[in-house]
Structure 1
Amino acid sequence: MPYRPTLEFLLYDWLHVEQLSGRPHFADHSRETFDAVLDTCERIAREKYAPFNRTVDIEEPRFDGEKVILPKATHEAHDAYAASGMLSAAQDYDIGGMQLPYTVEAAANSFFAMASVSIGSGMLTVGNANLLLEHGTELQRKVFALNEFSGRWSGTMALSEPQAGSSLSDVATRAVPDGDDFESDALGPRYRLTGNKMWISAGEHELAENIVHLVLAKIPGPDGRLIPGTKGISLFIVPKWLVEVESPHPGPLPGGEGENGSVPVTVTLGARNDVALAGLNHKLGWRGTTNTLLNFGEGRYPVRGGAGAIGYLVGRPHEGLHCMFHMMNEARIGVGTAAVMLGMAGYEASLDYARNRPQGRPVGPAGKDPSQPQVRIIEHADVKRMLLAQKSLCEGGLALELYCARLVDEQHTGNAQEADDARLLLEVLTPIAKSWPSEWCLEANSLAIQVHGGYGYTRDFPVEQYWRDNRLNMIHEGTHGIQAADLLGRKVLMEGGKGLDLLAQRMQATIARAQHHPSLAEQAHALGEALQQVQAATRAAWSTANPGEALANAVPYMQAFGHAVVAWLWLDVAAAVLVAGQDDPASQGRLYAARYFYRYELPKIGAWLQVAASRDPTCAQMPEAAF
């Protein structure tokens, strides 16, 4: 089944996204404008991305000593994406945006992830700019964020270091005030940074005029030593090229007269900042995206006036991690969506292969006759199992990501109660939105290879690349273990468990609606039992109030939690299918996928929750020498 009808069903028949047009913020939009955006992105993805997915996988980025070389196709795809306006699609009109719902923006961007996730669609640039809108000064927003939204500049986030991957408390990059007059710079308090950052996606390239690095670093305390732990971390804007601002007087963003008026700002590029590419990381997948080791302040591009790369403080000192989480949480939903779409690409490829590949004969007496013609492999029950598994995992993951995107719109444009509810639900669901698709849509990619048989393991077919590209998603923007610790160690406990209680209420409401449909009674009952299991395991895991015991099995807990969430969404989608009253093949497929998830996937949660609830010590107590 083609992807577009699936996307439209979830947007319009399930989430009823066109109803957002009734809110003042989205009043200029309608389903017609939403469809026009989807049409444009689908076309660009089909013409500029999909034909070159294998090209960017083979022709990896290379460094000639001065600049990074990327295929021509990457430049053309980047230019087409920037020209489409999608970098600022969800931003307000007064800063050049389309003022689209984030749900529609996320849906439109899914076409690019499916066509070539490795070429990319500006996820980090948009997240970087959004962070600056939230935490930067007015001039930082005008100079950096607006140029990123326009596509003139691109953005990164520079967190990890060679010696400190996920352990941000061990960040060693230093930032010191740039002289006695450092607070006089119009762009904010100016610092000199020295240190190294590792695994920085899009950290060096020639796709944009400038690259805006958001860098975590520590400011020495009064005694000259770095403050240990995450409390010492601050956030800095460190551009590849320094900027010259002709009208450096802070003022409101563009948008009218008086308090909403604008001070004109003209920005030109100045000298090269002391940010140097130390090397390119060569990855299993996502080979079309530059992944870099960057040196800050090593002296390769010395900046007049002192040693170190110039950086401008974002927010207040020592609150860098708080600011950065704004970008990290946004990126986690983006990572989940990328994982879903790679799974979806593999599903469509394996479905097409299964419909066209003849092999074997039916089970039974007739199948023993070698003179009978072979059947297409989609006629074999086990191949149907693998296809149905992919469908249920990928479409369930897509529902999860679109639901989270809808919550973002509720948080920004709903009434006070709706906004707060959306905030709480996003807190709980963000670890799931990142982790669940990155594990289970990767499994879907593995099944896509299996459907192809030996051919799937070769580069003659695209499914091996989809698997390689997807394998990264369990790692970047916070590994599985980090997401699990965040979920069980913080999110389900925050505000007295209010977010978890709200999620349970939403699940119960779906169960109540589903019970009006006799064909969904089995699933409704199973979801009710799963919810009780998750709630009981949460209490049991923390019954001793010992974090070491509670979190030892956080990943199995998260796996079960994610399966319960996706089961809930599948039940909600199935109810929407029945309400729509459609009996076409696509509707039947959704009901079968929901049934598959409940009968084959949801029963797995018992084993996962058992080790979490019992605080099983097997892994924690394993002696190192015994390995």
Structure 2
Amino acid sequence: MRETLDFLLHDWLNVQQLNARERFSDHSRETFDAVLDTCERIAREKFAPFNRLVDTEEPRFDGERVHLPQATHDALAAYVGSGMLSAAQDDAHGGMQLPCVVEMAANCFFSKASVAMSGYAMLTNGNANLLMAHGTEAQRRVFAMNEFSGRWFGTMCLSEPQAGSSLSDVATRAEPDGADFEADPLGPRYRLTGHKMWISGGEHEITENIVHLVLAKIPGPDGKPLPGTKGISLFIVPKHLVDIDGQLTGERNDVALAGLNHKLGYRGTTNCLLNFGEGRFTPGGQPGAVGYRVGQPGDGLRCMFHMMNEARIGVGLGAVMLGYAGYEASLDYARQRPQGRPMTAAGKDASQPQRPIIEHADVKRMLLAQKSYVEGGLALALFCARLVDELHTAPPEAADGAKLLLEVLIPIAKSWPSEWGLEANSLAIQVLGGYGYTRDFPVEQYWRDNRLNMIHEGTHGIQALDLLGRKVVMDGGRALMALATRVNDTVQRAAQVPGLSEASNELAAALAAVGSTTKKAWSTGVPEEALANATPYLQAFGHTVLAWIWLDVVLSLEAGAVRTAFSAAPTHDDQRREPSAADRPRREDDFAQGKRAAQRYFFAYELPKIHAWLGVVARRESLTREMQDRWF
């Protein structure tokens, strides 16, 4: 995997170009490599050996505290010690000012080694990043800084037992805590009551405190909850109360664990039902959990989606790495497992030795499918992370373009890897045959862990509605047109390369089909008709995006090819200047041939699927809308 990661970062995404920007000017290829080396080592030594252990020794609640294997504590202590929690933050805040794309690449190793243990850190990082963007100076200093240091971990609390993805039905309430509630130095102080469900990392003793970010409804002018999402605000609700200096006061907040959920996968991450303000604890002698409002009243969803979008890219990357882990395990097995003999015109010769199953065409098909899914998905996730760097550090015009691309790609970055990374895991089990179902091999656990990612941070249906219902039509379709421009650029360059012109034409046709289908879906202007088949649209859109990613990736292997995803700009430092095209011959090594084979597989076996998916969208197939409950 490391060779692919280095190739994507340096030969395709051209991360060296970022070093010419002031924020990243202290970095070089050497510093980026050092970060990757450190994370790869920690993941190999502290996470991977205990992935099965934390799956079988699930978190246990004895009525007072949650028990986790010591390996979880040790692994996360090593992660904290690496500085990765604050890696992208300013030097002044104890960070490394790493580009987002390098930070995410480094975190790949932890997701691949143990996605369950690494989940605590991902949530904490997203929580703290949100506070840096929307919190007050005191909230950033007291809560975010202590999370970046690893002294405290964090969560996000959205779902409720009666309201999963329907946030307008949130029932948790927040009432101002006294007449002077606005005067608290940590932010406007409220008392929260309610229940939150499916809270990953919601209770543990890995750190001395847990910082919950909680969505709750505040009262309107008449004292009653506002309807829909209007009154939803965001609150910092620490497990233990703290003072303005970030020290624990010794008083427990009224946040109580009601129980642990025992899931199909991710078993090493605690998953909790939390009660807020049930009266088990009474901070300050008053009922209700103490919470400090983040941002303005009613601004909760806007603030929370800052974390949600980062989390969606992170979920997609985690799904990719689980798929990658399964791919590598099944590839290793296929190279060692002897079974079957060559078929000749006279039949099989039983006197001949068996051959490794990797020599069978159908096993190669399954391995190629996995390779195309996981390496393509990794490229997609890193491309989106590179866009985040463009958004924050590029000149205004380039930053605006990156924002548009992120708008339309985030639903794909989350949903596509979680579906096709899972399919990769299913194929890995198939390669191992009966052994794939057993705990003697890791592939069954990878599948179980990955199955959750299709639901994490918004189901496929929600991502589909977001894509077709909002992203591709907003601002007159500007985001879709921005993506089409990038795809067409790849199409035009590939058309000039021998061996890629046919793929260029196929991608152009796929893009045209997506565009015409989008218009047909909305041709009546009736949302119910357009969106009934949003999920097939999401699948077709995702496959078209991955075909584009693959074609762009293999273009960077060609003779004289400019690094395609992000072309280099001249800099003042000759050592950072892009080599001339003439300096790069066509790569013909096994690594490059493997990439070309994966691209060919995707275009031959996967891209044709889009036409069936788009068909039901284009004709606004009414079956699912007309189906009656009693007919089931």
TM-score, scaled to structure 2: 0.95
Residues 541-588 of structure 1: CA distance to partner in whole angstroms, max 9, x if unpaired?
Answer: 011111100100000000000000000000000100113521110100
Residues 407-435 of structure 1: CA distance to partner in whole angstroms, max 9, x if unpaired?
Answer: 00000100000111111110100000000
Residues 463-491 of structure 1: CA distance to partner in whole angstroms, max 9, x if unpaired?
Answer: 00000000000001000000000000000
Please state if 1:423 is matched with 2:403: yes
Q: What SS does the aligned partner of 2:237 have?
A: strand
Mapping for residues 492-511 of structure 1, pairs under 5 Å: 492-511=472-491
Structure 2 CA distance for aligned equivalents of residues 613 and 154 of structure 1: 47
Q: Kindly provide the amino acid, as one letter, of the partner of residue 341 in structure 1.
A: M
Cα offset, 1:225, TM superposition: 2.0
Once superposed, which parts of structure 1, at least 4 consecutive aligned residues long, lie more than 4 Å away? none
Residues 606-627 of structure 1: CA distance to partner in whole angstroms, max 9, x if unpaired?
Answer: 0101111111011111011000
Determine the structure 2 residue equivalent to 1:102: 100
Determine the structure 1 residue equivalent to 2:236: 237
Structure 1 CA distance for aligned equivalents of residues 16 and 248 of structure 2: 41
Please state if 1:625 is matched with 2:626: no
Determine the structure 2 residue equivalent to 1:402: 382
**Contact 1:361–1:367 (CA under 8 A) maintained in structure 2:** no
Q: What SS does the aligned partner of 1:504 have?
A: helix
**Contact 2:530–2:617 (CA under 8 A) maintained in structure 1:** yes
Equivalent in 256, 275, 278 of residue 276 of structure 1:
256
Structure 2 CA distance for aligned equivalents of residues 603 and 17 of structure 1: 33
Q: Kindly provide the amino acid, as one letter, of the partner of residue 96 in structure 1.
A: G
Determine the structure 2 residue equivalent to 1:594: 599
Structure 2 CA distance for aligned equivalents of residues 573 and 522 of structure 1: 16
Structure 2 CA distance for aligned equivalents of residues 188 and 315 of structure 1: 9
Structure 2 CA distance for aligned equivalents of residues 324 and 15 of structure 1: 29
**Contact 1:239–1:311 (CA under 8 A) maintained in structure 2:** yes
Mapping for residues 251-262 of structure 1, pairs under 5 Å: none
Determine the structure 2 residue equivalent to 1:447: 427
Cα offset, 1:228, TM superposition: 1.6
Q: What SS does the aligned partner of 1:97 have?
A: coil
Determine the structure 2 residue equivalent to 1:74: 72
Determine the structure 2 residue equivalent to 1:208: 207
Please state if 1:151 is matched with 2:156: no
Q: Kindly provide the amino acid, as one letter, of the partner of residue 584 in structure 1.
A: D
Determine the structure 2 residue equivalent to 1:574: 554
Determine the structure 2 residue equivalent to 1:160: 159
Cα offset, 1:494, TM superposition: 1.3
Residues 287-313 of structure 1: CA distance to partner in whole angstroms, max 9, x if unpaired?
Answer: 000000000000111112421000000
Please state if 1:51 is matched with 2:56: no
Structure 2 CA distance for aligned equivalents of residues 270 and 28 of structure 1: 42
Q: What SS does the aligned partner of 2:556 have?
A: helix
Q: Bigger shift: 298-307 or 420-429?
A: 298-307
Structure 1 CA distance for aligned equivalents of residues 475 and 153 of structure 2: 37
Equivalent in 550, 558, 571 of residue 530 of structure 2:
550
Structure 2 CA distance for aligned equivalents of residues 418 and 129 of structure 1: 27
Determine the structure 2 residue equivalent to 1:251: none
Determine the structure 2 residue equivalent to 1:140: 139
Structure 2 CA distance for aligned equivalents of residues 212 and 437 of structure 1: 29
Structure 2 CA distance for aligned equivalents of residues 301 and 378 of structure 1: 60
Determine the structure 2 residue equivalent to 1:257: none
Q: Kindly provide the amino acid, as one letter, of the partner of residue 207 in structure 1.
A: I
Q: Bigger shift: 338-347 or 611-620?
A: 611-620
Mapping for residues 2-151 of structure 1, pairs under 5 Å: 3-120=1-118, 122-151=121-150
Structure 1 CA distance for aligned equivalents of residues 612 and 110 of structure 2: 37
Structure 1 CA distance for aligned equivalents of residues 360 and 251 of structure 2: 64
Determine the structure 2 residue equivalent to 1:297: 277
Quote the RMSD (CA, aligned, Å).
0.9
Determine the structure 1 residue equivalent to 2:338: 358
Cα offset, 1:65, TM superposition: 1.6
Q: Kindly provide the amino acid, as one letter, of the partner of residue 589 in structure 1.
A: G
Structure 1 CA distance for aligned equivalents of residues 233 and 379 of structure 2: 36
**Contact 1:245–1:268 (CA under 8 A) maintained in structure 2:** no
Cα offset, 1:282, TM superposition: 0.1
Q: Kindly provide the amino acid, as one letter, of the partner of residue 116 in structure 1.
A: S
Structure 2 CA distance for aligned equivalents of residues 346 and 165 of structure 1: 30
Structure 2 CA distance for aligned equivalents of residues 455 and 499 of structure 1: 46
Q: Kindly provide the amino acid, as one letter, of the partner of residue 382 in structure 2.
A: L
Count of residue pairs brought into register by the alignment: 606
Determine the structure 2 residue equivalent to 1:260: none
Structure 2 CA distance for aligned equivalents of residues 367 and 77 of structure 1: 54
**Contact 2:373–2:420 (CA under 8 A) maintained in structure 1:** yes
Structure 2 CA distance for aligned equivalents of residues 546 and 110 of structure 1: 42
Residues 519-557 of structure 1: CA distance to partner in whole angstroms, max 9, x if unpaired?
Answer: 101110000000000000111101111110010000000
Structure 2 CA distance for aligned equivalents of residues 570 and 215 of structure 1: 39
TM-score, scaled to structure 1: 0.96
**Contact 2:533–2:616 (CA under 8 A) maintained in structure 1:** yes
Cα offset, 1:270, TM superposition: 3.4
Equivalent in 304, 309, 314 of residue 324 of structure 1:
304
Q: What SS does the aligned partner of 2:204 have?
A: coil
**Contact 1:244–1:270 (CA under 8 A) maintained in structure 2:** no
**1:269–1:360 CA distance, 2 compared to 1 (3 A):** farther
Which ranges in structure 1 are unaligned for 5 or more consecutive residues? 247-265
Structure 2 CA distance for aligned equivalents of residues 35 and 295 of structure 1: 44
**Contact 2:138–2:244 (CA under 8 A) maintained in structure 1:** no
Structure 1 CA distance for aligned equivalents of residues 263 and 487 of structure 2: 40
Cα offset, 1:224, TM superposition: 2.7
Determine the structure 1 residue equivalent to 2:170: 171
Structure 1 CA distance for aligned equivalents of residues 78 and 126 of structure 2: 19
Q: What SS does the aligned partner of 1:345 have?
A: helix
Q: What SS does the aligned partner of 2:365 have?
A: helix
Q: What SS does the aligned partner of 2:500 have?
A: helix
Which ranges in structure 2 are unaligned for 5 or more consecutive residues? 562-583
Q: Kindly provide the amino acid, as one letter, of the partner of residue 598 in structure 2.
A: A
**Contact 1:236–1:313 (CA under 8 A) maintained in structure 2:** yes
Please state if 1:614 is matched with 2:619: yes
Mapping for residues 379-528 of structure 1, pairs under 5 Å: 379-528=359-508
Cα offset, 1:268, TM superposition: 3.6
Q: What SS does the aligned partner of 1:231 have?
A: coil
Structure 1 CA distance for aligned equivalents of residues 66 and 557 of structure 2: 49
Residues 296-347 of structure 1: CA distance to partner in whole angstroms, max 9, x if unpaired?
Answer: 0001111124210000000000110011000000000000000000000000
Q: What SS does the aligned partner of 1:311 have?
A: strand
Structure 1 CA distance for aligned equivalents of residues 433 and 557 of structure 2: 34
Structure 2 CA distance for aligned equivalents of residues 565 and 58 of structure 1: 37
Structure 1 CA distance for aligned equivalents of residues 557 and 616 of structure 2: 36
Cα offset, 1:367, TM superposition: 4.9
Cα offset, 1:223, TM superposition: 2.7
Determine the structure 2 residue equivalent to 1:262: none
**Contact 2:67–2:204 (CA under 8 A) maintained in structure 1:** yes
Determine the structure 1 residue equivalent to 2:355: 375
Cα offset, 1:267, TM superposition: 3.3
Structure 2 CA distance for aligned equivalents of residues 522 and 73 of structure 1: 51
Q: What SS does the aligned partner of 1:228 have?
A: coil
Q: Kindly provide the amino acid, as one letter, of the partner of residue 93 in structure 1.
A: D
Cα offset, 1:366, TM superposition: 5.8
Structure 2 CA distance for aligned equivalents of residues 177 and 130 of structure 1: 26
**Contact 2:131–2:139 (CA under 8 A) maintained in structure 1:** yes
Equivalent in 289, 302, 307 of residue 287 of structure 2:
307
Structure 2 CA distance for aligned equivalents of residues 232 and 435 of structure 1: 29
Q: What percent identity do the matched residue pairs reach?
A: 71
Residues 390-411 of structure 1: CA distance to partner in whole angstroms, max 9, x if unpaired?
Answer: 0001000001000000000000
**Contact 2:111–2:318 (CA under 8 A) maintained in structure 1:** yes
Structure 2 CA distance for aligned equivalents of residues 540 and 365 of structure 1: 52
**Contact 1:42–1:111 (CA under 8 A) maintained in structure 2:** yes
Cα offset, 1:269, TM superposition: 4.1
